[in-house]
């Protein structure tokens, strides 16, 4: 799925709040501040709080003596959600996998108070036997930490296969617990797109510059880390451009 929520709703709502209080902050600056706070929380000890968007906005507006309660949570509960959240066309492959008897689960870093509504209103529940999300009051770890992958794979027989779009959160995390991994990268250079899946995977896995760009893109805080990246820990078993290509693998 993809969503216009942040650009079309959240940032505009913050702009409106500033305008009503005669505070001048440009839209790009607001977006960058929200993003910076998200990244900072990802790099902190309680990483799960990075996905509490109401908390991030509340802390931001408190600096201007403005209030914010649970307005994002309330929006996700409303019918307006489906006006700004869309399924990719290739999601129809879920039906194909379901009919073939694959047991599927969702693992997301999004919090229940937001993602439950998205999954329900987009009609995705019926495809998945299990949905695992971090919970600030229960297990407080997120992808890529091994514990959350272990919770996901309970009740399922091997092999476990992770399909994800983040080299850090999805591929690196899943490889650490022995999953097979499939990286979906929708915006891919033409020179890779035209290759077969095995050729594309081999070419990209040998291009550390390309891998590094996408590792940092998915986890910007790693750029500040002194720890050397072991690229082998990030190399997926397969690289696809869209979900339709799963039919070549399964």
Over the stretch 42-90, which tens digit does the pLDDT of each residue have? 888 888 999 999 999 999 999 999 999 999 999 999 999 988 999 999 9
Confidence category of residue 31, pLDDT binned at 50, 70, 90: very high
Q: Contact, 73 vs 112, CB < 8 A?
A: no
Q: What was the pLDDT predicted at 44?
A: 82
Q: What was the pLDDT predicted at 195?
A: 97
Question: How is domain 90-249 classified at the CATH fold level?
Answer: Rossmann fold (3.40.50)
Secondary structure element (H or E) that encloses residue 240, with its range: strand 238-240
What is the average pLDDT across 138-166? 90
Burial of 247 (0-12, 13-18, 19+ CB in 10 A): exposed
What are 104's strand-pairing partners? 128
pLDDT for 170-224, tens place per residue? 999 999 999 999 999 999 999 999 999 999 999 999 999 999 999 999 888 887 6
- The CB density around residue 177, as the number of other CB atoms within 10 Å, is 17
Burial of 179 (0-12, 13-18, 19+ CB in 10 A): buried
Burial of 60 (0-12, 13-18, 19+ CB in 10 A): middle
Q: What was the pLDDT predicted at 89?
A: 95
Q: What was the pLDDT predicted at 43?
A: 81
Q: Contact, 105 vs 129, CB < 8 A?
A: yes
Q: What was the pLDDT predicted at 46?
A: 82
Is the pLDDT at 138 greater than 70, yes or no? no
* Arithmetic mean of pLDDT over the chain: 93
Q: Is the pLDDT higher at 150 or at 141?
A: 150
Q: Which of 1, 13, 106 is nearest to 54 (CA)?
A: 13
Per mean pLDDT, which range of 5-9, 19-23, 135-139 is the poorest? 135-139
What is the average pLDDT across 10-36? 93
């Amino acid at each position: 799925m993809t969503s216009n929520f942040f650009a079309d709703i959240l940032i505009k709502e913050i702009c409106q709040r500033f305008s009503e209080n005669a505070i001048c902050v440009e839209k790009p600056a607001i977006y960058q501040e929200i993003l910076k706070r998200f990244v900072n929380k990802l790099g902190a000890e309680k990483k799960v709080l990075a996905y509490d968007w109401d908390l991030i906005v509340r802390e931001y507006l408190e600096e201007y003596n403005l209030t914010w309660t649970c307005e994002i949570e309330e929006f996700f509960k409303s019918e307006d959600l489906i006006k700004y959240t869309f399924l990719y066309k290739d999601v129809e492959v879920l039906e194909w996998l379901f009919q073939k008897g694959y047991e599927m689960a969702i693992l997301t870093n999004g919090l229940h108070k937001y993602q439950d509504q998205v999954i329900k209103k987009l009609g995705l529940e019926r495809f998945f036997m299990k949905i695992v999300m971090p919970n600030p009051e229960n297990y407080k770890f997120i992808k890529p930490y091994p514990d959350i992958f272990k919770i996901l794979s309970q009740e399922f027989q091997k092999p476990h296969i992770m399909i994800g779009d983040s080299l850090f959160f999805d591929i690196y995390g899943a490889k650490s617990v022995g999953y097979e991994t499939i990286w979906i990268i929708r915006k891919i250079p033409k020179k890779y797109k035209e290759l077969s899946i095995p050729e594309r995977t081999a070419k990209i896995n040998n291009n550390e510059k390309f891998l590094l760009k996408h590792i940092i893109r998915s986890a910007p805080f790693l750029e500040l880390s002194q720890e050397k990246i072991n690229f082998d820990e990030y190399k997926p078993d397969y690289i696809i451009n869209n979900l339709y290509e799963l039919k070549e693998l399964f």
